[in-house]
A and B are shown apart, each in its own frame.
Chain A
Amino acid sequence: METQKNGRAASTGELTRRQLLRRGTILGGAAALTGFPAIIRAKAATTTLSFWQFYAPGGPVPAQSQWFEDAVAAWNAARDAKIQLEYVPSGDYMNGTKLPTAFASGQGPDIFLISPGDFLRYYNGGVLQDLTPYIDAHTRSDFSQSVIASRKVDDKIYGVPMEVEPMAFYYRKDFFDKAGLNENDLPKTWEQLLEIGKKLTTSDRFGLLFETMPGYYQNFTWYPFLWQGGGEIQGSDGKSAFNAPATIQALKFWQDAVKSGAAPRKPLGGGVWDIVPNLGSGYCAIQNCGIWGISNLQSGAKDVPYGIFKLPTPPGGKYVTVGGGWAMVANAKGKNPDAAGQFCAWALASASPDSLKRMVDWCTVAKSDMPPRQSAFDTGKAAFETGQMKIFTEQIYPGARAEPRVPPQVYKIVSDAIQACQLNGAEPAKQAETASQQLDAFLAGYTGAKIL
């Protein structure tokens, strides 16, 4: 009978059910076995430390990813604990799921970059390694104390600042010329800024550009306008200080800019941090942007004639801008937190000339930023006092205040108030009051590290 059955299958060329199952099992088994070497390789790779960053290889400024590659190559050449760089697209890195899911599943990178806006999220989550033991006392005092403060808890350092990025306004000189304006007309007050913005607005161009996309970055760019009138998110008593005239004034100013038609509701490119598609393309005549705009324009819109001026102030206000910037941190729950911590200190916070050079190169060659270490400023002084950087060094940076570190819930409350006033015509006083109540409700139950 069996012969008959086999003969039938053979003669028709069809598989019986049993043959199909048997062959399927063999194929499946073979596939599983061939997978073993890959599993073994993957296991071996886990001893290498991972370093996640968002500067694309061959991206708009190739020197930026090159800086990371050079630093990691120098470390790997001299150490047993090897590091492997992994590029994560900036959108996914800053607003996506990559980092949160990695940490939620215990697979977070060993070394990564965070902004002050995200510091409390990771510190309160217990994944930031204390870097203080790896940084000598002299280097610790070499850092700008206001800059490193937002990376410290109980006098311990949890992140090495790579840069300081103060905000300012960039303007197109050719558009100023066409409108009959010159450097003497650069605005000193909010009112003048709005007037010039209106004057520079045409049928195919906006006069002014503020960030409109909700997110950490929008809050970051709005804080100086809050501070200039003496406003704060949190008072010294730990309660909300948001319901104040300074808040209302700042919310109203951004609202007026959009209402007047001088500022758009949507920027071009990746957002208002992205200066080439906006000011560079002629979409706007004046753009609120950080110091990195210099290197981005140099790289992406070399021939655009532009100038820079510091943030104007409100009536009775005091000049202040915000200084953001990323910091290198080590994962306390990673594969080798000690080696990861050593790398962060070795890269940018050691007394060695190489470490200092890396910081100067990062701030002058790869980017156009202010250095967070005094000795790095002294070493690269020539670069910081040349061309457009000179304006930042002399006029803008001296009034910089470190970017606040707030938990995500606080950021959302502030963001909702900004968005409602700027784009939905909401009453600033009402929004300040509502946001303040929400802040108080949150702060009453908040138990994490101090909000700064």
Chain B
Amino acid sequence: MAFGGAEGVEYETATGRRAARGAPWSMRRREAVAGYLFIAPDAIGLAIFAALPMLLALGLGFYEVDGFGGYRFAGLANYRRMFLDPLFLQSLRVTLFYVLMLVPSLYVVGLGLALLAQRRSRISGLVRSLFFLPQMVSLVVVALVWQVLLVDKIGPVNRLMSLVGLGGLSWLGDPDLALASVVVVSLWFLMGFYMLIFLGGLQDIPREYYEAAWLDGANPIRAFFHITLPLLRTTSFFVLLVATVTAVAGGQAFDLIYVMTKGGPANSTELTIYYIYQQAFQYNEFGYAAAMATTLVAILLAFTFLLFRITRGGRFE
């Protein structure tokens, strides 16, 4: 098929031209060029909007920038300042707690929902849509709605909690609860997305494995631990990696914190990404913010590299 019929005609035509130009291109090379041309728009977009800003941020980290066009070379001063800045170190701790609370919860809830939603029934489509629905809403709207739900004393959540004697909590105003509240809202927003990813993974597992297990007398729990989980390793790797990177980079948390807490109360929800934003846009410390952003990217790269090494690229071989 590849060289028959019309393809053959084109091959002959190209050969004729090649002879005229005297520059032979093999089919392999032509395919490679075509492939590069196809990925070029995406690659150019990434280079301009991701790689270039990252390089600029790396350079900016070595300057003192006043935000009004003034630049002064500062060497490693911004990096030295970072490690002596208690608020930066605290923001790293807050980010770590946020990741430790969110990522495992996302894994468990996403997988749990996928297991529920994969059952074929008349309402399974509706169930999947409902769980995915939060993803369709703007994060700012999500934050505003939850802010109303979590209002002190008279908010619906507090009204409900007061029925079991737990009213009077300040979900967004108490430093001990605020980060957990942001995690819950993040979880509610993201669970549908990860449910879809797990659903894809579950549908790749051949039914024959379960049938064989049932014939051998395995119960659903044994089947889950000995068939489902092991065969979801690559999906799990993807979920853990993407969820962690998104959480650290403030994929959804930034908007939620910007609207709901502004990093408060008492800096308890000040993730590193939010602290970087504050330094850049509220205190005009663009150079310092760039140095922190570079450090955050380095931490993420190190984490990703380590995860790839441990899991052999997610194949777990």
Task: Determine if B67 is an interface residue (Cβ-Cβ < 8 Å).
Answer: yes
List chain B residues, Cβ under 8 A from A420.
Answer: 266
Asked if A125 and B66 make an inter-chain contact with CB atoms under 8 angstroms apart, the answer reads yes
Binds A, one of B110-118, B122-130, B232-240, B280-288: B280-288
Task: Determine if B313 is an interface residue (Cβ-Cβ < 8 Å).
Answer: no
Asked if A419 and B264 make an inter-chain contact with CB atoms under 8 angstroms apart, the answer reads yes
Task: Determine if A424 is an interface residue (Cβ-Cβ < 8 Å).
Answer: yes
Residues 1-33 of B, flagged 1 when their CB comes within 8 A of A and 0 if not, give 000001001101100100000000000000000
* Choice from A206, A408, A424 contacting B282 with Cβ under 8 Å: A408
Cα A268 to Cα B170 in complex, Å, equals: 12
Q: A214-B263, A266-B152, A423-B173 are in contact. Are A8 and B9 (CB under 8 A)?
A: yes
Residue with the greatest number of chain A CB neighbours at <10 A, chosen from B16, B67, B87, B174: B67
Residue with the greatest number of chain A CB neighbours at <10 A, chosen from B170, B172, B282: B282
Cα A94 to Cα B292 in complex, Å, equals: 24
Residues 175-191 of A, flagged 1 when their CB comes within 8 A of B and 0 if not, give 00000000000000000
Cα A419 to Cα B269 in complex, Å, equals: 12
List chain A residues, Cβ under 8 A from B217.
Answer: none
Q: A95-B282, A408-B284 are in contact. Are A4 and B9 (CB under 8 A)?
A: yes
Cα A268 to Cα B280 in complex, Å, equals: 28
Cα A214 to Cα B87 in complex, Å, equals: 15
Q: A264-B170, A266-B172 are in contact. Are A409 and B283 (CB under 8 A)?
A: yes
Asked if A100 and B67 make an inter-chain contact with CB atoms under 8 angstroms apart, the answer reads yes
Q: A100-B67, A126-B68, A266-B170 are in contact. Are A206 and B266 (CB under 8 A)?
A: no
Task: Determine if B250 is an interface residue (Cβ-Cβ < 8 Å).
Answer: no
Q: A17-B34, A408-B282 are in contact. Are A103 and B67 (CB under 8 A)?
A: yes
Task: Determine if B201 is an interface residue (Cβ-Cβ < 8 Å).
Answer: no
Residues 76-119 of A, flagged 1 when their CB comes within 8 A of B and 0 if not, give 00000000000000000001110011011010000000000000
List chain A residues, Cβ under 8 A from B175.
Answer: 423-424
B77 to chain A, nearest CB (A): 12
Query: B-side binding surface: helix, strand, loop or mixed?
Result: loop
B49 to chain A, nearest CB (A): 16
List CB contacts (< 8 Å) of A1-50 with chain B: 1-2, 4-5, 8, 17
B75 to chain A, nearest CB (A): 16
Asked if B153 and A424 make an inter-chain contact with CB atoms under 8 angstroms apart, the answer reads no
Task: Determine if A265 is an interface residue (Cβ-Cβ < 8 Å).
Answer: yes
Task: Determine if A121 is an interface residue (Cβ-Cβ < 8 Å).
Answer: yes
Q: A4-B9, A214-B262, A424-B175 are in contact. Are A283 and B154 (CB under 8 A)?
A: yes
Specify the chain A residue showing the minimal Cβ separation from B167. A203
Cα A289 to Cα B143 in complex, Å, equals: 25
Task: Determine if A155 is an interface residue (Cβ-Cβ < 8 Å).
Answer: no
Task: Determine if B252 is an interface residue (Cβ-Cβ < 8 Å).
Answer: no
Task: Determine if B91 is an interface residue (Cβ-Cβ < 8 Å).
Answer: no
A2 to chain B, nearest CB (A): 7
Q: A100-B284, A101-B281 are in contact. Are A213 and B264 (CB under 8 A)?
A: yes
List chain B residues, Cβ under 8 A from A104.
Answer: 65, 67-69, 286
Asked if A266 and B173 make an inter-chain contact with CB atoms under 8 angstroms apart, the answer reads yes
* Choice from A4, A121, A333, A424 contacting B266 with Cβ under 8 Å: A424
Complex A-B, nearest 10 residue pairs according to Cβ-Cβ distance, in ascending order: A265-B173, A125-B68, A424-B266, A423-B265, A265-B170, A266-B173, A408-B283, A419-B266, A214-B264, A264-B152
User: Which residues on A are within 8 Å of B, measured CB to CB?
Assistant: 1-2, 4-5, 8, 17, 95-97, 100-101, 103-104, 106, 121, 124-127, 203-206, 212-215, 261, 264-266, 268, 283, 333, 408-409, 412, 416, 419-420, 422-424, 426
Chain A to chain B contacts (Cβ below 8 Å), 12 pairs: A100-B282, A104-B67, A204-B154, A206-B153, A212-B265, A214-B263, A215-B262, A265-B174, A266-B173, A409-B283, A424-B265, A424-B268
